[in-house]
A = this chain, B = another copy of it.
Amino acid sequence: MTDRKETLALSIRAQEEKIKQLKTNNAESTEVDAEIAVLKGLKQELDALNGGKKKGKAGKNAFTLKTAKGTKDHNDKEMAIREKVFSTITKVFKKHGAVTIDTPVFELKEILAGKYGEDSKLIYDLADQGGEECSLRYDLTVPFARFLAMNGKEYQNFKRYHIAKVYRRDQPAMTKGRMREFYQCDFDIAGTYDSMIADSEILKILTEALDNLDVGQYTVKINHRKILDGIFEVCGVPEEKIRPISSAVDKLDKSPWEDVKKEMTEEKGLPEDVADKIGEYVKLKGGRDLLDKLKADEVLSKNASAAKGLEEMTTLFDYLDIFDITQKMSFDMSLARGLDYYTGIIYEAVTEKSAPPALADGEKPKPKSKKNDSDELDESTVGVGSIAAGGRYDNLVGMFSGVNKKGQPNLQIPCVGVSIGVERVFSILMSKQKAEDIKSNETEVYVISVGDGLLKERMEIANELWKNDIKASFMFKNKPKLDKQWSACEKEHIPFAVIIGRDELDKGEIRVKDMRSKDESQKGGVTVQRSNMVQELKDRLTQL
């Protein structure tokens, strides 16, 4: 390969990485397009040097060097952010007594069948290579319900979290960060308890997690399916239309009332006066004041479903007060949530960062896509919509346990849970810093030699540091250049260097340098007795 070709190949890789980063960070499309144009130019030049043709399948690269569509590698910098997010969230979960379980990445096809409505077409199947038919998991909730149904009563008191990848054969929208492989982060409490206690702890956990994640200001919208159903009933919605109308209401966060009303009346055949009555209710939001207002509503409070919901919400507010999180909640009658299986309270956390952009006067917002209607929380997208969501689902486990002669489930375990949109959290956190500023290793000390290599001496010192649980590295060269050692230490953001030279070693001395110090007098580090090295470093590291 000529030098120019090599340079071009490297530039193309760098340019591709740059474009990928821009897309991940939701850059303006004009900016992305400009960078793509640069990339094309580089590729054309390389093609020309290669004789004007790209290598085909039979060419010198026998295969395409890429990851599958909708998937990507996460490099060390991205993983450092991911691991920080996971450990922050996991710490909160564990503080509340949670344990984790692990389920296989694929399930029998029939376990997933019929659980996701028309989204079932997005399920990845494994090829038929003989034996059972299997599919990649689509979410973590169905495997959890399957686990509970299989493991019966021993898991009736169970706080479990599960952070793992799920798979959807969706059209990837990489610019929005929507992937075919992405992480979900679920926390659920399973078991039969007294009203709203577990529900309030879930909300407490959600607020603690978001507070610790540094994602900015957020609001947790809450509502109750039973209140919503009661409203639909008293307004005169026929039973079979309750779920479709509920799903229309769910669009109110993105669409104006006129559009939602049109969907109710024109698409779903609701009389206009019924829609208008609903409109009066669903525009309400507030806190305990709204609860009092609804309880004072003579029509609504006489509806059995609404009365039950209002009673539970009253209990919930009492508990939210004790947990000191009422101020983070917004009792929002327009929150309906897509998924059919919710049976009690529902909630959705929205951050400023993830809120839809404000609309200019007269600008028409895009309607929520059909897909989102039935999607619990579209964690496959980032930068838009909610950052966490969930609710109570008391009947899902029963779907897996089979029914007895009376037609009742053999085993019913009520559940309440929340899913944190970790892909969005990553995206928010990644956009806050430059990749090169992220320290992906945890190395604390770099062992540097001045003069003639001193490899064995550097190894001895590293070994002593490791023995004392200090994270240390050195350059894998017999005679490394000093500037190369400095720049490795800087590039890897290692806070301290131990500098050794022959003369000083003979005197039983080494030097310790704080790499972050701007103090010119400390440029060469400070001299430390070799025998005090470990203690000196430990003292400095505890001050970090």
Contacts and interface: CB of A to CB of B under 8 A. Distances in A.
A60 B165 contact: no
A107 B68 contact: yes
B440 A132 contact: no
B64 A97 contact: no
A477 B198 CA distance: 10
B101 A74 contact: yes
A400 B97 CA distance: 46
Contacts of A466: 95-96, 204, 208
Contacts of A82: 102
Interface residues of A, number: 111
A124 interface: yes
Given A1-B404, A69-B132, A469 B110 contact: no
Contact of A125 (B95, B127, B473): B127
A319 interface: yes
Contact of A152 (B10, B60, B147, B472): B10
Interface in A179-216: 181, 189, 191, 193-194, 197-198, 200-201, 204, 208
Interface stretch (A303-311, A383-391, A455-463, A524-532): A455-463
Interface string A240-271: 00000000000000000000000000000000
A194 B68 contact: no
A127 B123 CA distance: 11
B127 A191 contact: no
A318 interface: yes
Nearest to A201: B476
User: In the assembly, how many copies of this chain are there?
Assistant: 2
Contacts of A191: 476
B197 A110 contact: no
Contact of A79 (B100, B318, B469): B100
A151 B402 contact: no
A27 interface: no
A115 to B, nearest CB: 11
Contacts of A104: 67-68, 71-73, 181
A101 B80 contact: no
A410 interface: yes
A505 interface: no
A108 B323 contact: no
Contacts of A62: 110, 402
B131 A128 contact: no
A179 to B, nearest CB: 9
Interface of A: 1, 9-10, 13, 17, 55, 60-69, 71-76, 78-80, 82-83, 94-108, 110-111, 113, 124-129, 131-132, 134, 136, 146-147, 149-153, 157, 159-160, 165, 167, 169, 181, 189, 191, 193-194, 197-198, 200-201, 204, 208, 318-319, 322-324, 400-405, 410, 440-443, 455-456, 459-460, 463, 466, 469-473, 476-478, 488, 492
Given A73-B102, A79-B100, 16 more contacts: A10-B152, A60-B404, A62-B110, A65-B402, A67-B108, A68-B106, A68-B132, A69-B131, A75-B151, A76-B101, A79-B102, A94-B442, A96-B471, A97-B443, A200-B459, A324-B463
21 contacts: A13-B150, A17-B151, A60-B402, A60-B403, A63-B113, A73-B101, A74-B102, A75-B101, A76-B100, A94-B441, A94-B471, A95-B472, A96-B473, A97-B441, A104-B181, A126-B127, A194-B477, A197-B477, A200-B459, A319-B456, A322-B460
